A = this chain, B = another copy of it.
Amino acid sequence: MSDWLQREIHLPAQRRGFHLVTGEVLEQLPELHAYRTGLLHLFIRHTSASLTINENADPDVRGDLERHFNQMVPENQPYYEHTLEGPDDMPAHIKTVLIGPSVSIPVSNGELNLGTWQGIYLCEHRDRAGSRTLVATLHGEK
C-alpha cells in the first residue's frame, strides 16, 4: 500500500554553523518504521539556512565547513547592495543557494538508507536565528 505523510518539523534555534540533526528529525517521524520502500523529502521554509548531508562523526568537519564557507562567501563585500538586515544576511542567502533548501533520502525497510558516515545537517547561516521549520514529506510503500 502506497502512503503519504506530511508534517512540519521544528528545529530549535542554533548558533551559526553546521549542525547534525538526524536524531531530532527521526524523533519527529516515528511512522518512518512502517515504510518498506520510499523517499523522505525534507524542505526548509527559510532563505538563510539550508540542509545537506555529510559526515556524522568528527565535529571538526562541521567546524571546517563553517570556516570554509565564510572564506568563500565573506561578509561586507563592496558589491553587496542587500545590507539592511546586517552583514551576515546576504552571505546567508548565497550560502543557502550554494547548499540548497532540501534533501531527499531513500527509505528502506523502515529506516533512512544513509551510508555509515552520513547524517543530516542543518546549516544555520545567520548570527542570531530563531527556530527553523522544515516540511517533511514521506512517501512510500508500507
* A103 contacts across to B, CB distance below 8 A: 101-102
Q: Interface 1/0s, chain A 29-51, versus B by CB < 8 A?
A: 00000000111010111110000
CB of A108 within 8 A of chain B?
A: yes
Copies of this protein in the complex: 3
Residues of A at the B interface (CB closer than 8 Å) are: 2, 4, 6, 37-39, 41, 43-47, 52-55, 58, 60-61, 63-65, 67-68, 71-73, 77, 79-82, 90, 93-94, 96-106, 108, 113-118, 121, 133, 135, 137, 139-141
By the criterion CB–CB under 8 Å, are B108 and A6 in contact? Answer: yes
A4 to B104, CA, bound (A): 16
* A55 contacts across to B, CB distance below 8 A: 47, 93
A108 to B45, CA, bound (A): 13
By the criterion CB–CB under 8 Å, are A79 and B108 in contact? Answer: no
